[in-house]
Amino acid sequence: MYKISLRTGLVGSAALAASVTGTAAHAQQTPAGTSVNNQASVTYEVGGTPTSVSSNVASFVVDKKVNLAVAEVGGAPTQTAIGATDQVTTFTVTNLTNSVQDFRLDPDQQLVSIPLLGIDNFNMNSLKAYVDSNGNGTYDAGVDTATYIDELAPDATVTVFLVGNVPNTPGAEVAIVSLNAIVATGGTGGALGADLVASSTLVADSPTTVETVFADDTGLLDQLRNGQQRAFDAYRISTAVVTLLKSATVISDPVNFLLNPHPIPGAVVEYCMKVSNAGPGSASNVAVTDAVPANSTFVPGSIAVGTSGILGACILLGTSEDDNDTGSDETDLYGGSFDGTTVRAKLPSVASGTSMSVSFRVTVN
Amino acid sequence: MRHSLLLAGLLAAVPAVANTVDIHASVLAEKRGAAADGTTRVSLVPAARVTPGDKVVYRLNYRNNGKQPVTGLVIANPVPTAMRYAGPAEGSAAPELSVDGKTFGPLAALKVRDGATSRPAVAADVRVVRWRLARPVAGGAGGQVAFRAVLN
A40 vs B contacts (CB less than 8 Å): 23, 25, 58, 60, 75-77
Suggest the residue from A29, A55, A210 to mutate for an interface test with chain B (most B CBs closer than 10 A): A55
B123 vs A contacts (CB less than 8 Å): 14-15, 17-18, 21
Q: What b/e readout covers A275-310, taking b as 16+ CB neighbours within 10 angstroms? A: bbbbbbbebeebebebebeeebebbeebbbbbebbe
Asked if the C-beta of A28 comes within 8 angstroms of chain B's C-beta atoms, the answer is yes
B43 vs A contacts (CB less than 8 Å): 1
Residue B44: what pLDDT?
A: 82
pTM of the model: 0.66
Asked if the C-beta of A50 comes within 8 angstroms of chain B's C-beta atoms, the answer is yes
Asked if the C-beta of B94 comes within 8 angstroms of chain A's C-beta atoms, the answer is no
Q: Which stretches of chain B score pLDDT less than 50?
A: 1-18
A39-95: per-residue pLDDT in tens? 998 988 887 788 888 999 998 889 999 999 999 998 888 988 888 899 999 999 999
- Residues 6+ positions from A357 with CB-CB distance below 8 Å: A272, A273, A274, A275, A305, A306, A307, A308, A309, A314, A315, A318
Asked if the C-beta of B48 comes within 8 angstroms of chain A's C-beta atoms, the answer is yes
Long-range contacts formed by B111-118: CB under 8 A, 24+ apart: none
- Residues 6+ positions from A238 with CB-CB distance below 8 Å: A79, A80, A81, A281
Distance CA B23, CA A58 (A): 12
Q: Bridge partners of A50?
A: A45
Could B51 and A57 be called an inter-chain contact, meaning their C-beta atoms sit closer than 8 Å?
no
A310 dihedral zone (left: phi>0; alpha: psi -120 to 50; beta): beta
Please give the backbone phi and psi of residue A151, each rounded to the nearest 5 degrees, phi first.
50, 60
Residue A229: what pLDDT?
A: 95
In contact, A273 and A359? CB cutoff 8 Å: yes
Instruction: Measure A224 CA to nearest chain B CA, in Å.
Output: 17
B122 vs A contacts (CB less than 8 Å): 17-18, 21
Residue A234: what pLDDT?
A: 92
B106 dihedral zone (left: phi>0; alpha: psi -120 to 50; beta): beta
A125-175: per-residue pLDDT in tens? 999 999 999 999 999 999 999 999 999 999 999 999 999 999 988 777 889
B17-42: per-residue pLDDT in tens? 445 889 999 998 877 777 778 787 77
> How many residue pairs bridge chain A and chain B with CB atoms within 8 Å of each other?
182
Cβ-count burial of A318 within 10 angstroms (0-12 exposed, 13-18 middle, 19+ buried)?
buried
Could A211 and B123 be called an inter-chain contact, meaning their C-beta atoms sit closer than 8 Å?
no
Residue A333: what pLDDT?
A: 83
The three state secondary structure string of A260-307 is CCCCCCCCEEEEEEEEEEEEECCEEEEEEEEECCCCEEECCCCEEEEE
Query: In 3-state terms, what secondary structure has residue A343?
Result: strand
Could A62 and B26 be called an inter-chain contact, meaning their C-beta atoms sit closer than 8 Å?
no
Residue A70: what pLDDT?
A: 95
Distance CA A345, CA A330 (A): 9
Asked if the C-beta of B101 comes within 8 angstroms of chain A's C-beta atoms, the answer is no
Neighbours of B114 (CB within 10 A): 8
Closest CA to A128 of A105, A151, A150, A111: A105
In contact, A127 and A86? CB cutoff 8 Å: no
Distance CA B72, CA B91 (A): 22
Of B21, B43, B47, the CB nearest to A42: B21
Q: Which stretches of chain A score pLDDT less than 50?
A: 1-27
Distance CA B151, CA A138 (A): 38
Could B41 and A22 be called an inter-chain contact, meaning their C-beta atoms sit closer than 8 Å?
no
Largest alpha-carbon pair distance within chain A?
138
